[in-house]
Each structure stands twice: as structure tokens, then as C-alpha cells.
């Protein structure tokens, strides 16, 4: 039982209109053609068939005034699911505190920021009310804080902003998605130094990473997964990936890791991130 029953810490669950827009943007930016399903029941059937038992459902708001309704939609979807853990989002130009408090009160288990797309990063003062509520409610935050795959010049990402967040909110568990690529070395070091800092493997550690994000997952040593067992979560970006779901794990499974490191990667670290242990 190395992989199954896995927790996938990075799945996108959003209404079809938003998914269509996201896929259009990914096609325009990188010619990614994506054909995985977007409705929850079909997604969950595919995830279950792949050995996933639980997943974190991540929305994000690319513009103001949609987050509250989007969060409600995600929470309603997850109420009918045995395997989804709902996260919420908010845009920097929203009534940030109000939107986040409402989502937490309704059961959102954490927050997601797709920083480059939302135009607000971990050091954006507009998000301070959200970060303060995350501390108060003990809810973790998932940030797309790195520059991969197409955000090298985006002002909302980068290690400097993330480390500023870590220093300001040391009590908040925070994950930098995609192993922090393309600044993975700095993010890995940050996770070594701060037990509340997490990374996820999403796309960066997939067998398709060289082709789709010009990144070779082999440059990250096995030692990183051993040393940071409990701080690195398996994630996929499903269903918005231009390759098979299986590609997300084949490279990871080819590594010579200890049973404990695999256990933490595929289950344990997500539990700790969610505050379940």
C-alpha cells in the first residue's frame, strides 16, 4: 500500500464556467490540452480508481466579487462527498475578512491562493485579514507562490514574499505548491527551517514535468523527501493537467524512499497540514 489509499492535497473543484475559462487560459499560455472531467462525481470516480481516498478541493477567484459564491458552491459540493476536504478562496479586492470568516464558519478547512492568477501574494497587505483569521481558526493555507510554470515575471510570486509571510505568521501552516519551483532550493530550505512550512509535489514531481514545465524532477534528491517527510504532500492539480493522472506518481514511486517517507508523502503530511494529528 505504497500509494493507495492516497490523499491528493491539490485538486481543483470549481464550476464548469470557471474550469472552461482556466483551461482556455492554459491553452493560450502553454497550449495545454486537457480532457479530464470537471464534474465532481466523475472526478471522484476517476480518483478512486487511481487509488485516491481523500483530496483537498481548491477553488480560486481570478477577480473580485466571485469568491463568496464560489466558496459556497465548493462547500455544497463537498457536503455530498465522502472524500473531498473543502478549501476556500478570496480575492485581494474583496471584503477579505468577511468572505473568509463566512467560509470558515461554514466549514472551509483552509485557504487557497493562486497568487499569480489572482494578483495577490503571501505578502499582500490586503490579505492580512485572511491570514489573521487562518491563525485564529487554525486553518492552513495553500499558496501558488513559486514562479513555475509561466510566472517568472509575475509580481505576486517569489520566495521573498513567501518568507515574509512565514516570518509574520509563524503560527499558520502554509504550503508552497509545486515544490516551490522554479525557486525550489530556497523553498526546500525554508521547509527545513520551519515545521509549519509545507511543499506539495504537484506537477513538479510528475513524470511529465520535463515536457510540460521544463523541470527535471530528478534534480531534487531522495534525501529531501526523507529529511522533510511529514512536510511534503503528494498533489496533482487534477483535473487541470494535460497528461494522465498516473504520471503524477510514477516518478515518485520510482524513488528509493523509506516506507515512512512514502507514508508521509502520500498520507501523513496532508494530515498534519490539515491539523488532523
- Applying CB under 5 A, the residues found at the interface with Zn ion are 237
Residue among 27 and 258 whose Cβ is closer to Zn ion = 27
Residue among 236 and 261 whose Cβ is closer to Zn ion = 236
Instruction: Give the residue nearest to Zn ion (CB).
Output: 237
Residue among 234 and 261 whose Cβ is closer to Zn ion = 234
201 with 227: CB under 8 angstroms? Answer: no
Alpha carbon of residue 172 to chain centroid: 15
Residue among 129 and 202 whose Cβ is closer to Zn ion = 202
> In a 3-state reduction of DSSP, which class is residue 152?
coil
Grid coordinates of 87: 478549501
With residue 7 as reference, give the H or E element that holds it: strand 6-12
- Cα separation, 112 vs 217, in Å, equals 24
Query: What is the smallest separation between the CB atom of 168 and Zn ion, expressed in angstroms?
Result: 24
Query: What is the smallest separation between the CB atom of 267 and Zn ion, expressed in angstroms?
Result: 20
- Cα separation, 261 vs 223, in Å, equals 10
- Cα separation, 23 vs 29, in Å, equals 10
Query: What is the smallest separation between the CB atom of 223 and Zn ion, expressed in angstroms?
Result: 26
Query: What is the smallest separation between the CB atom of 237 and Zn ion, expressed in angstroms?
Result: 4
> In a 3-state reduction of DSSP, which class is residue 74?
helix
Alpha carbon of residue 36 to chain centroid: 18
Query: What is the smallest separation between the CB atom of 258 and Zn ion, expressed in angstroms?
Result: 28
Residue among 114 and 129 whose Cβ is closer to Zn ion = 114
Amino acid at each position: 500500500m505504497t500509494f493507495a489509499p492516497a490523499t491528493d492535497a491539490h485538486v481543483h473543484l470549481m464550476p464548469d464556467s470557471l474550469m472552461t475559462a482556466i483551461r482556455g487560459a492554459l491553452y493560450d499560455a502553454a497550449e495545454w490540452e486537457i480532457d479530464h472531467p470537471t464534474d465532481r462525481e466523475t472526478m471522484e470516480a476517476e480518483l478512486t480508481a487511481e487509488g485516491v481516498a481523500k483530496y483537498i478541493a481548491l477553488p480560486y477567484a481570478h477577480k473580485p466579487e466571485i469568491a463568496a459564491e464560489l466558496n459556497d458552491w465548493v462547500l455544497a459540493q463537498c457536503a455530498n462527498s465522502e472524500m473531498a476536504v473543502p478549501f476556500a478562496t478570496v480575492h485581494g479586492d474583496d471584503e477579505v475578512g468577511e468572505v473568509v470568516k463566512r467560509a470558515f464558519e461554514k466549514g472551509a478547512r483552509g485557504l487557497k491562493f493562486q497568487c499569480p492568477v489572482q494578483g495577490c501574494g503571501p505578502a499582500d497587505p490586503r490579505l492580512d485579514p485572511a491570514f489573521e483569521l487562518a491563525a485564529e481558526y487554525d486553518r492552513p493555507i495553500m499558496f501558488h507562490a513559486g514562479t513555475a510554470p509561466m510566472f517568472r515575471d509575475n509580481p505576486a510570486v517569489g520566495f521573498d514574499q513567501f518568507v515574509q509571510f512565514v516570518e509574520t505568521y509563524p503560527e499558520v501552516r502554509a504550503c508552497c505548491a509545486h515544490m516551490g519551483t522554479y525557486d525550489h532550493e530556497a523553498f526546500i530550505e525554508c521547509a527545513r527551517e520551519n515545521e509549519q512550512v509545507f511543499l506539495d509535489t504537484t506537477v513538479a514531481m510528475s513524470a511529465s514535468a520535463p515536457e510540460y514545465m521544463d523541470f527535471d524532477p530528478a534534480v531534487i534528491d531522495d534525501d529531501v523527501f526523507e529529511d522533510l517527510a511529514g512536510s511534503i504532500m503528494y498533489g496533482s492539480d487534477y483535473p487541470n493537467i494535460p497528461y494522465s493522472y498516473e504520471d503524477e506518481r510514477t516518478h515518485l514511486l520510482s524513488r528509493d524512499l523509506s516506507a515512512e517517507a512514502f507514508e508521509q508523502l502520500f498520507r501523513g503530511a496532508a494530515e498534519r497540514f490539515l491539523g488532523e494529528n
